[in-house]
Amino acid sequence: MRWSDARESWQIEKRIHRRRTVNPDTYPREAVDSFIRFRDGYELIDELPPHGLPTIDRLIQNLRKFDPQRMMQELGIHTADQLADAYDRRDEERRELARKRRNAKFRDRAGDIYDAMAWDEGRTVAVPRSYRFSERN
């Protein structure tokens, strides 16, 4: 388990290979955790909020879910390359979901700002049909 200053969270990692020599200049500042993990030979298993650490029993139970051999059996995977591909797909799906959530927040906030400006300028603000008062009653 390692504390991430960049993400302000606990990161649970698992050793996957020996340490490697890598050039820190090839990693952007926001990827410092990935650099440290790769340099030390670990992979990210889970990330926990700073004040949300589970009890040791629950932590061990959750860590068992990330057992590569069990995962390979469940997914019908037979080689390490297939397992690496499955991990990559899972990570990509998580990144895509996070990106979609982040973009939705930005769109919502931008819409709120646009509506507030229109209201301040005396322009009409469009309200979606599903939110019109007369149709809700």
Cβ pair 32, 2 in contact under 8 A: no
Per-residue pLDDT of the chain (137 residues; tens, 9 = 90+): 888 888 888 888 888 776 667 666 776 766 777 778 877 888 888 888 888 777 877 777 777 766 667 767 777 777 777 777 777 788 888 889 988 988 888 888 888 888 888 888 888 776 666 665 554 44
Residue that the structure tokens 């390692």 belong to: 2
Q: Where are the domains of the chain?
A: 1-52, 67-122
pLDDT score recorded for residue 137: 47
Q: Which of 83, 95, 75 is nearest to 14 (CA)?
A: 83
